[in-house]
Structure 1
Amino acid sequence: MDSKKELIFKKENIGLGKRKQSIARVFLLPGDGKIIINKTSGNKYLQYNDNYLNTVWSPLEKLNLEKQFDIVALVQGGGLTGQAQAIQLGVARLLCTMDKENRSILKPFGFLTRDSRIKERKKYGLRKARKAPQYSKR
């Protein structure tokens, strides 16, 4: 990142996204379409996987803004899928705070809906959340 571009850590400049165990704090900077995740290139961090990269870029692509902003994200927890989807939610939320008209465009695509599915807890007497030990008749 250039020294001219400083992150301004204010609440209104942060898009917060969550998915499973992942939490992403997202910043949008004026730029030419780069992704930086945890101070690493986005392509390298997401292992050059097109599915993850498309997930992260999709809110900006729907608004035709992919070449106008750089995405800077700080991500914790979970795996790459959850992290990519958390970044997507953070970007979409941040775009809505920047311009209220973006909400009506992004909402039908489901970018503003937090996916609340999380891992089910393990129950006693079972091996996992629902997997029971093998039944023996005799």
Structure 2
Amino acid sequence: MEVVHTIGRRKTSVARIYMSKGKDNVIVNGKDYKEYFPTTTQQYKIMQPFQLTNNTGKYDLSVNVYGGGTTGQVEAIRLAISRALCEISEDNKSALKSEGLLTRDPRMVERKKFGQKKARKNSSSLRDNRVLELSS
């Protein structure tokens, strides 16, 4: 088996992975994944596609990930791993699809609108403040 290259995205994070046969070495940006992602939840999310397809300990991963925060990066890596496992064997597709790991989450941060404090939060007008003062 040669090296399989796939890409995963989540929010503003982009993960490029290179998967080859090996002994479960996962390197993220030059560090071991347990060092790069210290929480057990994040480590579980990275290994989830392997556990669902019974491929734990069969592949080595080299991951380049950039952009966003740690949660976005973890989920981008998880999507890329799931896509790579499907490229290797079509048998893995049904298990991953039923768990929703092959779906690119389209949710992005909504932009801030001018004249407002945040994307959805309007500034309270003076009239609103006066009504509150009179009623109390």
Q: What range describes the TM-score normalised by the shorter chain of this pair?
A: 0.7 to 0.9
1:64 to 39, 54, 76: 54
Tell me, what secondary structure is at the counterpart of 1:131? Answer: coil
1:20 to 7, 11, 32: 11
Counterpart in 2 of 1:29? Answer: 20
Equivalents in 1 of 2:83, 2:50: separation in Å? 11
Counterpart in 2 of 1:134? Answer: 124
TM-score by length of 1: 0.86
2:63 to 73, 91, 106: 73
Any unmatched runs of 5+ in structure 2?
A: 131-136
Tell me, what secondary structure is at the counterpart of 1:66? Answer: coil
Equivalents in 1 of 2:64, 2:26: separation in Å? 11
Counterpart in 2 of 1:3? Answer: none
Any unmatched runs of 5+ in structure 1?
A: 1-6
**Bigger mean CA offset, 80-89 vs 63-72:** 63-72
What pairs with 1:44-123 in structure 2 (closer than 5 Å)? 44-46=35-37, 48-123=38-113
Determine which structure has more spread, i.e. the larger CA radius of gyration.
Answer: 2
Amino acid across the alignment from 1:121? R
- Which has more helix, going by share of residues? 2
For residue 93 of structure 1, report the CA deviation from its aligned partner. Answer: 0.3
**Bigger mean CA offset, 85-94 vs 97-106:** 97-106
Aligned residues with identical type, % of pairs: 36
Equivalents in 1 of 2:124, 2:60: separation in Å? 52
TM-score by length of 2: 0.88
- Between the two proteins, the alignment pairs up a number of residues equal to 127
Question: C-alpha root-mean-square deviation of aligned residues, in Å?
Answer: 1.4
